[in-house]
Amino acid sequence: MKIDMSREAVTKRLKIVNELRRACLSLANSNAGKRIMKKCSANKSVQRTSQSLGR
């Protein structure tokens, strides 16, 4: 399988990644995300998310 590395395809993938990143950060800032951060503070993924949010 060959990956499309054309300018348009790369730009489209970068836009999708940016949208996904924004959605993840929005969820992390939500009330549910804050509860998870308190409940599972020892979890490595939760720690990385918290660090990326500057908490």
The predicted structure's pLDDT at residue 39: 93
What is the C-alpha separation between 6 and 8, in angstroms, rounded? 5
- Give the span between the Cα atoms of 14 and 18, in whole angstroms: 6
Residue 25's pLDDT is 83
Rg of the chain's alpha carbons, rounded to an integer?
15
The answer, as to whether pTM is greater than 0.75, is no
Encode pLDDT of 1-55 as tens digits. 899 999 999 999 999 999 999 998 888 888 988 898 889 989 998 888 888 877 7
pLDDT in the model for residue 51: 86
Residue 13 to residue 49: CA distance in whole angstroms: 22
Q: Check: CB of residue 29 under 8 Å from CB of residue 53.
A: yes
> What is the per-residue pLDDT for 28?
81
Q: Give the CA dihedral 47, 50, 52, 55, nearest 10 degrees.
A: -130
